[in-house]
Homo-oligomer: A and B are copies of this chain.
Amino acid sequence: MSDLLERLRRRGWRMTSQRRVVAEVLDGDHVHLTADEVHARAARRLPEISRATVYNTLGDLVSIGEVTEVSTDGRAKRYDPNAHRPHQHLVCSNCGTIRDVHPTGDPLADLPAEERFGFTVSEAVVTYRGLCAACA
């Protein structure tokens, strides 16, 4: 059932049938769909939903922090509803499968001051790459 939908309602997000199906499609763990995949799945329940609406809704969800954008392959961005707990990604270099992972330690601590070039560093995004069990 949809945690995401519940949180959105609580925020007073204006709820439309389009936004509801997009939120429902995104629900779950290890979900990393492209905008077109979201559109295709949403269209199974609401055939007239337009691409622009899916892009708008995803963009809104990202800007309010309920969904994060992941771009692991330089192709289409993927949308990750698991924004409530920080995590990194493990990607199969062959088939593109993505898993959420929780490394120990803080990568920010591994960047010495003299390697910061005066930046105020706030975040470290880690992508682990390798071959999944099926592709190895």
Q: Which residues of A contact B (CB under 8 A)?
A: 69, 71, 74, 77, 90, 92-93, 99, 101-105, 107-108, 110-112, 115-133, 136
Work out how many copies of this chain go into the complex: 2
Given contacts A74-B69, A74-B77, contact A119 B103 (CB under 8 A): no
Is the beta-carbon distance between A119 and B92 smaller than 8 angstroms? Answer: yes
Is the beta-carbon distance between B133 and A119 smaller than 8 angstroms? Answer: yes
- Identify whether the interface residues of A are mostly helix, strand, loop, or mixed: mixed
| A54, chain B: closest CB distance, angstroms | 17
Given contacts A71-B74, A124-B127, contact A110 B119 (CB under 8 A): no
Residue among A77, A90, A119, A122 with most chain B CB within 10 A: A119
